Chains A and B, each alone.
Chain A
Amino acid sequence: MKRYLETGNFAITEGAILAGCRFFAGYPITPATELAEAMSFRLPQVGGMYIQGEDECAALHLCIGGALGGYKAMTATSGPGFILYADPYGWAIGCEIPLVVLNSGRVGPVSGITGAPGQGEFYLTRYPTQGGNFETIVLAPNSAQEAMSVIVESFYLAERFRTPVTVLADQLITDGFEDISVPENEGEMKEMGFRTWPRKINKGPVFYPSTDEIDIPPVVLGHNTGALCSDWTPTEEGYDIEEVAAHHKHAYRLIYKVRNHKELFNNLYEKNFMDDDPELVVVSYGTPSRVVNTAVKKARQNGLKVGALRLINLWPFPDEHFKKKTKYLSVELNWDGQLVREVQRAAGKDSEVHFMGSCGDLPTVADLIETFEKILKGQPLKRRGWELEEW
Chain B
Amino acid sequence: MDYLSKKYLRPRKIPSTACSGCGLGMNHKAVVQAIYELGLEVEDIVWGTSIGCAGRQTFGTWKGDGFAGTHGRVYAIARGLRLTLPPEKKIILTVGDGDAFGIGLLHLIHSARSNADLTIIVNDNLGYMSTGGQYGWTTPHGSKTDSSPYGMYEHNLMSDGMDVLGVLKHAGATFLARHVAMDGQRAVESIKKGIRNRGLSLIHMVYPCPTNFGSRELGTRDTIKMYDYIKSQSAPMGEEKENTLWATGIYHDTSDSRPEFSENIHKNIEKIRRAAAV
- A contact set with B: CB distance below 8 Å: 23, 25, 44-49, 51, 53-55, 57-58, 61-71, 73, 87-88, 90-91, 95, 221-232, 238-240
- Closest B residue to A242 by CB, please name it: B17
In angstroms, Cα B88 to Cα A224, docked, is: 13
Pairwise interchain contact A222-B69, C-beta atoms closer than 8 A: no
Q: In whole Å, how far is B153's beta carbon from the nearest beta carbon of chain A?
A: 30
Taking a contact as CB atoms under 8 Å apart, the answer to whether B67 and A87 are in contact is no
Set B63, B68, B83, B89: member contacting A66, Cβ < 8 A = B83
Question: Which of chain B's residues 74-126 have a Cβ closer than 8 Å to chain A?
Answer: 76-86, 89, 106-107, 109-110
Listed stretches B137-145, B183-191, B197-205, B267-275; interface member: B267-275
Q: Footprint of A on B, CB under 8 Å?
A: 12-13, 42-43, 46, 49, 51, 56, 59-60, 63-71, 73, 76-86, 89, 106-107, 109-110, 265, 268-269, 272-273, 276
Q: B267 CB to closest chain A CB, in angstroms?
A: 11
Main secondary structure of the interface of A (DSSP, over half): mixed
Cα-based distance from A71 to B85 in the complex (angstroms)? 10
Asked if B65 and A221 make an inter-chain contact with CB atoms under 8 angstroms apart, the answer reads yes
A98 to chain B, nearest CB (A): 13
Residues A222 and B76 in contact, CB atoms below 8 Å apart: no
Q: Assuming the A-B contacts A49-B83, A65-B82, A238-B60, are A90 and B65 also in contact, with contact meaning beta carbons closer than 8 angstroms in the complex?
A: no
Q: A66-B80, A221-B81 are in contact. Are A47 and B69 (CB under 8 A)?
A: no
With a cutoff of 8 Å between Cβ atoms, the chain A residues found around residue B106 in the complex are: 54-55, 58
B79–A65 CB distance below 8 A? yes
A25 nearest CB neighbor, chain B only: B80
User: In the complex, which of the residues A55, A68, A95 contacts B84, with contact meaning CB atoms closer than 8 Å?
Assistant: A68
> Quick one: closest A residue to B262, CB to CB?
A49
CB distance from B17 to the nearest CB of A (A): 10
- Flag if B63 contacts A65 (CB, 8 Å): no
B273 x A68 contact (CB < 8 A):
no
A70 to B65, CA, bound (A): 13
**What are 27 residue pairs bridging A and B, where the CB atoms are less than 8 Å apart in the complex?**
A23-B80, A23-B83, A25-B80, A46-B276, A51-B83, A51-B265, A54-B106, A57-B73, A57-B76, A58-B76, A58-B106, A61-B80, A65-B83, A66-B80, A68-B67, A69-B83, A87-B71, A87-B73, A91-B70, A221-B46, A221-B66, A222-B85, A228-B59, A230-B49, A231-B69, A238-B60, A240-B60
- Rounded to whole Å, the gap between the CB of B116 and the closest CB of chain A is 10
Q: Which of B49, B60, B84, B269 contacts A69 (CB 8 A)?
A: B84
Q: How far is the CA of A88 from the CA of B59 in the complex (A)?
A: 18
Asked if A226 contacts B81 (CB within 8 A), the reply is: no
Shortest distance from the beta carbon of A15 to any chain B beta carbon, whole Å: 19
A225 touches B107 (CB 8 A): no
Nearest B-chain residue to A53, judged by Cβ: B76
Chain B contacts for A69, CB-based, 8 A: 80-81, 83-85
Q: A47-B269, A69-B80, A239-B13 are in contact. Are A230 and B64 (CB under 8 A)?
A: no
Determine the distance from Cα of A223 to Cα of B67 in the docked complex, in whole angstroms.
13
Tell whether, in the assembled complex, residue B84 and residue A230 are in contact, meaning their CB atoms are under 8 Å apart. Answer: no
What are the residues of chain B within 8 A of A53 when measuring CB–CB? 76
Report yes or no: A240 in contact with B110, Cβ–Cβ below 8 A: no
- Does B46 lie within 8 Å of A87, measured CB to CB? no
* Extra contacts besides A51-B265, A87-B71 (9): CB < 8 Å: A44-B276, A45-B276, A61-B73, A221-B81, A225-B65, A227-B66, A228-B66, A232-B56, A240-B68
A323 to B250 Cα, complex, angstroms: 70
Q: Which residues of B contact A240 (CB under 8 A)?
A: 56, 59-60, 68
B76 touches A91 (CB 8 A): no
Chain B proximity of A22: nearest CB distance (Å): 9
Residue of B nearest to A231 (CB): B70
A222-B65 CB under 8 A given contacts A65-B76, A65-B78 = yes
Task: Assess the A61–B77 pair: CB atoms within 8 A.
Answer: yes
